[in-house]
Structure 1
Amino acid sequence: MGKTSQTHIRRGLHRFARREHGNVTLETVIIAPILFWAFMAVVVIFDAYRQHSINQKAAYTIGDMISREDRAIGPTYLSGTRNLFDSLARSAEPSSIRVTSVRYDADNDLYLRNWSGSIGNIESATEAEVQGWDERLPIMPDDESITVVETWSRYAAPFSVGINDHDIQNFIFTRHRSSGVNTWDSDA
């Protein structure tokens, strides 16, 4: 390459670098996808928080409903409960619900399972599992009973921007409204 060719190329590059028309278009092409992604991320984050809040409110509603029940609870009752939860939580897929009646034994400082029932992809709570809830359950008087309602629902993000699909789990405990304790009847 000759000296005149190099000079010609240098001048052309220098002129190109000094020109400013078209910068806005170039900046828009670079920034627009970033702004679009940021907007979609805000939408997904807001939607995830909203769905978590809705699920928690639905779980509290189920807990309150069961705490007012004066008849035995069984599989049919849990099936209706799941339908109500799915409707309240706007679940796209069927959820899982586990209801456990827990009693506190002050003499041995243990939480004991009265009964447990579940519907969906979760097993009923075992005695050992309930005893492991001592950090999650409130301080209770001796021989006091509460109902623990656990719900699992699937969250599907509307866009893929960093928050993946995941399960939303709630752990709600409610004291019985009446003087009695809920009972389990596998035929109800």
Structure 2
Amino acid sequence: MTIPARYCRMFNVPAPLVRFLRAETAAMSIEAAIMLPIMMIMYIGAFSYFDAYRREAVITKATYAIGDLLSREEGTVTAVDFEGLHDLYETITFSEGATRLRFSEIRRVSGSLEVVWSYGTDGSTQLTTATLGSVAAQVPTLLDNERIVVVESFNDYEPAFNVGLFARTQMRFVPTRQRYAARLDYDASVPAPS
């Protein structure tokens, strides 16, 4: 940065200060010592935000994939099947032990919604008709006696670095209509594997 001579004379700037301001020589180590921490902070921040967005995208796609698998099922499903889908979900999302899934079938009867059955993995609470109000706004419009299967995923997320992101539970709600059958048959008599 050079300062025109007329400004130096006009403001009566001392000669040593003018020489300092006009100098274009510098020590690379000092510049690096100033810029390296700034660059590292920017890199860590960018990494943390990219990781959070990547994780959001992965869990969204995995939840839709599990919902799509269930929509193609023509036979009877059991707790063993749901636990297997949960294992598949953890494999897809690379998140061992930090996830829970809840599978539910919802139908419309006489203008109101009702839960036909529900199953939660890893201690996830089951959805009931009484607790359906918390997610009713996310249920698509259904005809009378029409059914949908809902897959809900709950993922505990903790950012690698503290850059303004907070630990939270990422939730996804995916309603899916059956493709080849009118409803998904669930046999609750088969116990979950221990």
TM-score, normalisation: structure 2: 0.78
Matches within 5 A, 1:77-88: 77-88=81-92
Corresponding residue to 1:71 among 66, 70, 75: 75
2:54 corresponds to which letter in structure 1? Answer: R
Gaps (5+ residues) in structure 1?
A: 1-13
Measured against aligned partners, the alpha-carbon deviations of 1:8-47 in whole angstroms (never above 9, x if no partner) come to xxxxxx9699656656644432332122111111111111
Runs of 4+ displaced beyond 3 Å: 14-28
TM-superposed CA distance for 1:71, in Å, is 2.4
Measured against aligned partners, the alpha-carbon deviations of 1:57-98 in whole angstroms (never above 9, x if no partner) come to 110111111111122222211110110000111114342110
RMSD: 2.3
- Specify the SS of the correspondent of 1:135: helix
CA distance in 1 between partners of 2:58 and 2:103 (Å): 19
Corresponding residue to 1:184 among 180, 183, 186: 186
Q: Is 1:144 matched up with 2:153? A: no
Aligned residues: 173
1:30 corresponds to which letter in structure 2? Answer: I
Q: Is 1:89 matched up with 2:78? A: no
- Partner residue, 2:50: 46
Larger mean Cα displacement after TM superposition, 157-166 or 31-40: 157-166
Structure 1 residues 129, 180: closer, same or farther in 2, change over 3 A? same
Matches within 5 A, 1:117-132: 117-132=119-134
2:32 corresponds to which letter in structure 1? Answer: T
TM-score, normalisation: structure 1: 0.81
Cα pair 2:103 2:151 within 8 Å, conserved: yes
1:173 corresponds to which letter in structure 2? Answer: P
Gaps (5+ residues) in structure 2?
A: 1-14
